[in-house]
């Protein structure tokens, strides 16, 4: 087995502090999750009192972080996980012995904090335009990889920007995440249908622990009922979507209102996916792998009824006395 050396690289306010950080570093973690902003946590022993004194970062300070994996091979090969750019959100100090933790988030924090609520109205607006406006307000750039839809009117009423665009996107089967200076919107179905990044086989790959669950509380809805306005009949009409592959289960009655039948069909399919996507889930911890990130799929082999293709909805890359990667999974849907 090839020995590996792992190094956390940190650039603080434009200055490389990797060497000084390494003397005190006891742990580093990078979390990458669908629906929210990436985060890092840096844990330090502080026997000299520097980190809770003159070296303590200030809220909003910028940190760029990466994980370097150095393979002890003749060619000196190196893998790098660029975690991205983060902004200090929280610092804590405890003891004895003296310890400092620094938490940072991949979104520039507004004056009112990450929970600041806003109100705005869009008229005749595309989804991508709303996302672009919200990204710009947060000092982010936009990556949009999903179908684009037009809305006659969209109203954000005393909601945080992130919660509003997340709610709006989910109705269209679109997921969001914030990663290294970008607000990313992507079509969930498209990404689930991509070729698996790799296969993870029980007893073969470097799997340290695993858990899988088939959750009866996650329902597995058989039908979705939604109301739309029928222009020909000039009245509200119910549309019922029968979920493919679900032989038995309850009906979910949505309080969403669609403007026409086409929108009702679209919303119903996306609601079914959102409601049913947690029926079969799992998590695996394995030897650190910088390629494993949210948005990819993996093929799970050797776990009997839990075999199949899964979507990675969260990863945690942890450098604490070694390097481990934990992935949180949900089974890919067929519809």
Indicate the number of domains in the chain: 4
Q: What is the pLDDT of residue 72?
A: 65
In a domain, 291, yes or no: yes
Q: Are residues 59 and 38 in the same domain?
A: yes
Q: Are residues 250 and 169 in the same domain?
A: no
Q: Are residues 325 and 203 in the same domain?
A: yes
Q: Are residues 252 and 319 in the same domain?
A: no
In a domain, 89, yes or no: yes
In a domain, 266, yes or no: yes
pTM assigned to the model? 0.91
Which residues are within 8 A (CB) of 130 and not within 5 positions of it... i.e. 6 or more apart? 122, 151, 154, 165, 168
**pLDDT above 90 covers what percent of the chain?**
77
Q: Are residues 285 and 269 in the same domain?
A: no
In a domain, 237, yes or no: yes
For the chain, the average pLDDT equals 92
Q: What is the pLDDT of residue 296?
A: 98
Q: Are residues 204 and 300 in the same domain?
A: yes
- Domain end among 105, 135, 165: 105
Residue 73 above 70 pLDDT?
no
Residue 36 above 60 pLDDT?
yes
In DSSP notation, 229-296 reads: EETTTTEEEEEEEEPTT--S-PEEEEEEEESSHHHHHHHHHHHHHHHHTTSEEEEEEEE--TT--TT-
Residue 142 belongs to a domain with what CATH number?
3.55.50.10
- Domain end among 134, 167, 187: 187
Q: What is the pLDDT of residue 114?
A: 63
Q: Are residues 70 and 128 in the same domain?
A: no
Q: Are residues 47 and 98 in the same domain?
A: yes
Cβ atoms within 10 Å of 105's Cβ, excluding its own: 19
Q: Are residues 174 and 66 in the same domain?
A: no
Average pLDDT value for residue range 300-320: 97
User: pLDDT of 260-283, one tens digit each?
Assistant: 999 999 999 999 999 989 989 999
Across 76-90, 158-172, 288-302, the highest mean pLDDT is recorded for 288-302
Q: Are residues 14 and 84 in the same domain?
A: yes
Q: Are residues 297 and 264 in the same domain?
A: no
Q: What is the pLDDT of residue 76?
A: 66
Find the domain containing 285 and state its range. 193-215+279-331
In a domain, 112, yes or no: no
- Give the model's confidence band at 234: pLDDT under 50 very low, under 70 low, under 90 confident, else very high: confident
Residue 108 above 90 pLDDT?
no
In a domain, 249, yes or no: yes
Q: What is the pLDDT of residue 232?
A: 80
Q: Are residues 53 and 143 in the same domain?
A: no
Residue 109 above 80 pLDDT?
no
Q: How far apart are CA 260 and CA 274, in angstroms?
A: 21
Residue 198 belongs to a domain with what CATH number?
2.40.30.150
- Give the model's confidence band at 111: pLDDT under 50 very low, under 70 low, under 90 confident, else very high: low
- Give the model's confidence band at 4: pLDDT under 50 very low, under 70 low, under 90 confident, else very high: confident
Residue 40 contacts residue 8 (beta carbons within 8 Å): no
Q: What is the pLDDT of residue 299?
A: 98
Average pLDDT value for residue range 164-172: 93
Residue 173 above 90 pLDDT?
yes
- Domain end among 274, 290, 313: 274
Between 2 and 221, where is the model more confident? 221
In a domain, 111, yes or no: no
In a domain, 110, yes or no: no
Q: How far apart are CA 164 and CA 142, in angstroms?
A: 16
Residue 217 above 70 pLDDT?
no
Across 65-74, 233-242, 325-334, the highest mean pLDDT is recorded for 325-334
81, 71, 68: which is closest to 7 by C-alpha?
Answer: 68
Average pLDDT value for residue range 290-304: 97
Average pLDDT value for residue range 126-155: 94
Q: How far apart are CA 16 and CA 57, in angstroms?
A: 14
Average pLDDT value for residue range 37-50: 95
DSSP strand pairing (99-105 vs 78-94): antiparallel
């Amino acid at each position: 087995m090839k020995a590996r050396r792992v190094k956390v690289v940190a650039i603080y306010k434009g200055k490389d502090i990797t060497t000084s950080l390494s003397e005190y570093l006891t742990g580093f973690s990078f979390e990458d999750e669908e629906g929210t902003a990436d985060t890092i946590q840096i844990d330090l022993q502080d026997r000299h009192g520097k980190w809770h004194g003159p070296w303590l970062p200030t809220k909003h300070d910028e940190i760029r972080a990466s994980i370097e994996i150095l393979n002890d091979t003749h060619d000196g090969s190196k893998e790098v996980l660029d975690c991205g750019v983060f902004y200090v959100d929280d610092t804590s100090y405890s003891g004895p012995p003296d310890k400092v933790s620094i938490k940072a988030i991949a979104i520039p924090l507004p004056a009112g904090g990450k929970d600041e609520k806003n109100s705005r109205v869009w008229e005749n607006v595309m989804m991508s335009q709303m996302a672009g406006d919200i990204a710009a307000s947060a000092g982010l750039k936009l990556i949009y990889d999903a179908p684009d839809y037009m809305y006659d009117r969209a109203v954000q009423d005393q909601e945080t920007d992130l919660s509003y665009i997340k709610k709006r996107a989910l109705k269209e089967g679109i997921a969001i995440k914030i990663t290294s200076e970008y607000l990313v919107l992507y079509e969930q179905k498209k990404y689930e249908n991509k070729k698996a990044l790799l296969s993870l086989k029980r007893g073969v790959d470097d799997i340290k622990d695993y858990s899988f669950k088939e959750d009866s509380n996650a329902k597995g809805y058989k039908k979705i009922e939604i109301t739309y306005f029928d222009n020909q009949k000039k009245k509200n009409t119910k549309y019922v979507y029968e979920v493919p592959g679900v032989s038995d289960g309850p009906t979910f009655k949505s309080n969403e209102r669609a403007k026409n039948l086409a929108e009702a069909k679209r919303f119903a399919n996306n609601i079914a996916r959102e409601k049913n996507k947690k029926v079969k889930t799992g998590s695996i911890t394995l030897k650190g792998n910088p390629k494993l990130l949210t948005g990819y799929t993996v093929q799970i082999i050797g776990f009997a009824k839990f075999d199949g293709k899964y979507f990675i909805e969260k990863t945690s890359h942890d450098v604490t006395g070694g390097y481990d990667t934990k992935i949180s999974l949900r089974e890919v849907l067929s519809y």
